[in-house]
Copies of this chain bind each other. A is one copy, B any other.
Amino acid sequence: MEKNMYSRPLSLRSMKINDKFWKQEMEVVRKEVIPYQWAALNNQVEGAAPSFCMRNFKVAGKQNKERKEQGKAFIEPKYTFRGFESLPEDPNHPEDKFYGFVFQDSDFSKWIEAVGYSLTQHPDPKLEAIADGAIDIVCAAQQDDGYLDTYYIINGKDKIFTNLKDHHELYCMGHLIEGAVAYYEATGKDKLLKAAARFADYAAAHFGPEEGKCKGYPGHEIAEMALVRLYEVTKEPRYLELSKFFIDERGKRPYYFDKEHPEEVKKGHENDLRYFYNQAHLPVRQQDEAVGHAVRAVYLYSGMADIARLTEDETLYQSCEKLWDSMANEKMYITGGIGGTQIGEAFSYPYDLPNDTAYAETCASIGLVFFARRMLEIKPDAKYANVMERALYNGILSGMALDGKSFFYVNPLEVLPEASHKDERKFHVKPVRQKWFGCACCPPNLARLVSSIGSYTYTEKEDTLFVHLYMGSELTKKVGDKDANVAITSELPWDGNVEIAVEAKDTDFVLALRIPDWCGGNYTVDGIEKDEMSEKDGYLYVKKAWSEKDVLKLHFSMPLLLMEADEKVREDAGKVAVLRGPIVYCLEEVDNGKDLHLLEVNPDGKYEIKDSEICGNPVKVVEMNGFRVVDTAKKDGELYHVYKRKEKEAVELKFVPYYTWANRGENEMMVWVRV
């Protein structure tokens, strides 16, 4: 770790994203997802599982008011945890109780976070007014002592922090903080920020290394990185210390979760295995393999990276690097998806990356981007940005329909609809996107990520602007007491042309430009001299005496790539994936007919890259010579027959961008194709 290398994301308020590709996604989120989400939080979506989120806050607020009037400490416990408090027969006439998942509060927090980001790019007084109203409802539920989780406020505060392992209490706090910080940074309004800080103060008084304080930590991580954000906006060390405490405490023996759940205690190795799920099997500084629930894992690793950076913790940073390599080099799908098994929505063993039973949760890839950005902050190495880009354009975008109206939790690389309907082992693999989920994590997570895409595009240190992703945008960066203005236009993801206009006269402004892995080192730069450029760790550093206006023209070569997996990946043996630039391609039945498993790529064949559109969205598709294997020895009604070398019928394969699949109805899809 070299402190002088650290960089931080730019404020979204200092930039305008006007990228052809991403602006369109942001608009879909702004126009479709955010309003839809608000309707969902208020049970106003026909046919979707009611969230009861806002209603839970209202009920908690009402009881809060009554409680104060009656001068009670808290209402009588009615507490009975079922993980999900079943919904009322008639959603229009529910009782004054808590409904939904124990983490239902976080639906609001994710929404307000997305709203905050969106307002930085598209001011919208009407939306802001709705948000302020929602914040009032949420804050009215906060207890005098600062506690703010409606599940316990309504069901009985006596059980607070008694089930950290399963009850997502600190998870809800984490999301509340993230939402509050985002909304504050976007609008300057601090009502929710103060509420979140008071909840964090409550937690900080309860948990900590000091004698008598609880030695627990979150069962579902996120508080770790959220508290760091809260620290960075408030500068209150208490929050940094609490985050560090959670990270230091995790995985210590005896296991905190064993103390909390004596009934579940098992012996030795078996016990460790149980805590793989929560990454609590070992102290984090001893962890070197990504295991367990994938979303929890990358949320934890993100928090670890934050703490490593802020506390100069070399050992912790080394664990982050090992865990990164474990994921990126042994456990990541080519789409940037992570989580090879649906059991525990978790990482499988190294190189176990089944395509048709993949979990590859949208949220996990989003968390991977969080982690990548934080690793970039510590050390600008393109290996992080390459993965970040891969995940963004593929395993994450695939989570949302092109019209923003339906969503995937699970992002498989191969789908046979019949299997999804008939094989319980594949019930988690949906052949078409769903409207909304009772457990609504992926859609709002997508909303908050896409709306804040600029925080992943750029990071900065004193004199340097790091460009990790190329997207059309305008920004201003402070260099000393001067401004450097940068305007970028980009043809990504469809072509490798990028133009960067810089106005940085009389500054020591340094521009650090990522050289994408997919260009194979083939790129050209016009507008600067050789001696003004140097390469390091996959970044092109431009240091020069800037004039009134300098215009750099970059061209990154964007060849069609046939990729293969490490031979240890059994599921991909004898197969290739088609990539171009940041885009992973796939075959769909609608373009190529049934039985995609009988198709083969001809590696020596011709191909064409064509402008096309899918559901009105401009894309480039790939048409490539291939084969359909024909079995001439087959006898009907015979399951097995004597082998005969197959005949190969020449066919044109049509590949479409993976993120666009399943937008044209239910059908077969395949990323890894026989070669």
Decide yes or no whether A78 CB sits under 8 A from chain B. Answer: no
Decide yes or no whether A423 CB sits under 8 A from chain B. Answer: yes
Q: Is the CB of B565 within 8 A of A349?
A: no
Q: Pick the residue among B328, B634, B643 that contacts A567 (CB under 8 A).
A: B634
Q: Pick the residue among B334, B567, B577, B645 that contacts A595 (CB under 8 A).
A: B567
Contact A597-B576, Cβ < 8 Å, known A348-B422, A638-B329, A640-B564? no
Q: Pick the residue among B357, B564, B577, B637 that contacts A425 (CB under 8 A).
A: B357
- Taking CB atoms, residues of chain B closer than 8 Å to A329 are 637-639
Decide yes or no whether A675 CB sits under 8 A from chain B. Answer: yes
Q: Is the CB of A642 within 8 A of B562?
A: yes
- Taking CB atoms, residues of chain B closer than 8 Å to A576 are 643
Cα distance, A419 to B566, chains bound together (Å): 17
Cα distance, A674 to B330, chains bound together (Å): 24
Q: Is the CB of B567 within 8 A of A598?
A: yes
Decide yes or no whether A205 CB sits under 8 A from chain B. Answer: no
Mask of A587-625 contacts with B, CB within 8 angstroms, 1/0: 000000001011000010000000000000000000000
Instruction: Name A551-604 residues within 8 Å CB distance of B.
Output: 561-570, 573-574, 576-577, 595, 597-598, 603
A429 → B minimal CB distance (Å): 13
Closest B residue to A635 by CB, please name it.
B566
- Taking CB atoms, residues of chain B closer than 8 Å to A328 are 639
Contact A419-B349, Cβ < 8 Å, known A567-B595, A634-B566? yes
- Taking CB atoms, residues of chain B closer than 8 Å to A526 are none
Q: Is the CB of B569 within 8 A of A639?
A: yes
Decide yes or no whether A341 CB sits under 8 A from chain B. Answer: yes
Cα distance, A352 to B639, chains bound together (Å): 12
Decide yes or no whether A73 CB sits under 8 A from chain B. Answer: no
- Taking CB atoms, residues of chain B closer than 8 Å to A343 are 424-425
Q: Is the CB of A424 within 8 A of B341?
A: yes
Decide yes or no whether A128 CB sits under 8 A from chain B. Answer: no
Q: Is the CB of A562 within 8 A of B597?
A: no
Decide yes or no whether A75 CB sits under 8 A from chain B. Answer: no
- Taking CB atoms, residues of chain B closer than 8 Å to A644 are 564
Closest B residue to A579 by CB, please name it.
B640
Q: Is the CB of A352 within 8 A of B423?
A: yes
Mask of A617-656 contacts with B, CB within 8 angstroms, 1/0: 0000000000001010110011111111100000000000
- Taking CB atoms, residues of chain B closer than 8 Å to A631 are 564, 566-567
Mask of A529-561 contacts with B, CB within 8 angstroms, 1/0: 000000000000000000000000000000001
Decide yes or no whether A177 CB sits under 8 A from chain B. Answer: no
Q: Is the CB of A643 within 8 A of B423?
A: no
Contact A674-B573, Cβ < 8 Å, known A425-B357, A633-B564? yes
Cα distance, A639 to B573, chains bound together (Å): 13
A94 → B minimal CB distance (Å): 24
Cα distance, A569 to B638, chains bound together (Å): 12
Decide yes or no whether A416 CB sits under 8 A from chain B. Answer: yes
Number of interface residues of A (CB under 8 A): 53
Cα distance, A371 to B675, chains bound together (Å): 42
- Taking CB atoms, residues of chain B closer than 8 Å to A674 are 573-574
- Taking CB atoms, residues of chain B closer than 8 Å to A381 are none
- Taking CB atoms, residues of chain B closer than 8 Å to A566 are 631, 634, 638-641
Cα distance, A145 to B419, chains bound together (Å): 50
Closest B residue to A633 by CB, please name it.
B564
Decide yes or no whether A503 CB sits under 8 A from chain B. Answer: no
Q: Is the CB of B425 within 8 A of A425?
A: yes
A386 → B minimal CB distance (Å): 11
Cα distance, A629 to B329, chains bound together (Å): 21
Contact A325-B637, Cβ < 8 Å, known A567-B598, A570-B416? yes
Decide yes or no whether A332 CB sits under 8 A from chain B. Answer: yes
Decide yes or no whether A313 CB sits under 8 A from chain B. Answer: no
Q: Pick the residue among B565, B638, B675 that contacts A639 (CB under 8 A).
A: B565
Q: Is the CB of B416 within 8 A of A643?
A: no
Closest B residue to A421 by CB, please name it.
B349
Decide yes or no whether A418 CB sits under 8 A from chain B. Answer: yes
- Taking CB atoms, residues of chain B closer than 8 Å to A577 are 640
Cα distance, A325 to B638, chains bound together (Å): 10
- Taking CB atoms, residues of chain B closer than 8 Å to A639 are 328-330, 332, 334, 565-566, 569
- Taking CB atoms, residues of chain B closer than 8 Å to A640 are 334, 563-566, 577
Contact A567-B638, Cβ < 8 Å, known A352-B419, A352-B423? no
Cα distance, A633 to B565, chains bound together (Å): 10
Cα distance, A642 to B573, chains bound together (Å): 14
- Taking CB atoms, residues of chain B closer than 8 Å to A567 are 595, 598, 629, 631, 634
- Taking CB atoms, residues of chain B closer than 8 Å to A422 are 348-349, 352
- Taking CB atoms, residues of chain B closer than 8 Å to A675 are 643
Cα distance, A645 to B602, chains bound together (Å): 11
Mask of A27-64 contacts with B, CB within 8 angstroms, 1/0: 00000000000000000000000000000000000000
Instruction: Name A407-444 residues within 8 Å CB distance of B.
Output: 416, 418-419, 422-425
- Taking CB atoms, residues of chain B closer than 8 Å to A419 are 349, 352
10 contacts between A and B (CB under 8 A): A332-B639, A348-B422, A348-B423, A349-B423, A352-B422, A564-B631, A565-B640, A567-B598, A567-B629, A567-B631
The 6 A-B residue pairs with the shortest CB-CB distance in the complex, in nearest-first order = A562-B643, A349-B422, A564-B643, A343-B424, A570-B597, A576-B643
Tell me the A residues contacting B by CB distance below 8 Å.
Answer: 325, 328-330, 332, 334, 341, 343-344, 348-349, 352, 357, 416, 418-419, 422-425, 561-570, 573-574, 576-577, 595, 597-598, 603, 629, 631, 633-634, 637-645, 674-675
Given contacts A329-B639, A334-B639, 8 further A-B contacts (CB under 8 A): A329-B638, A343-B425, A563-B641, A564-B633, A567-B631, A573-B629, A573-B674, A574-B574
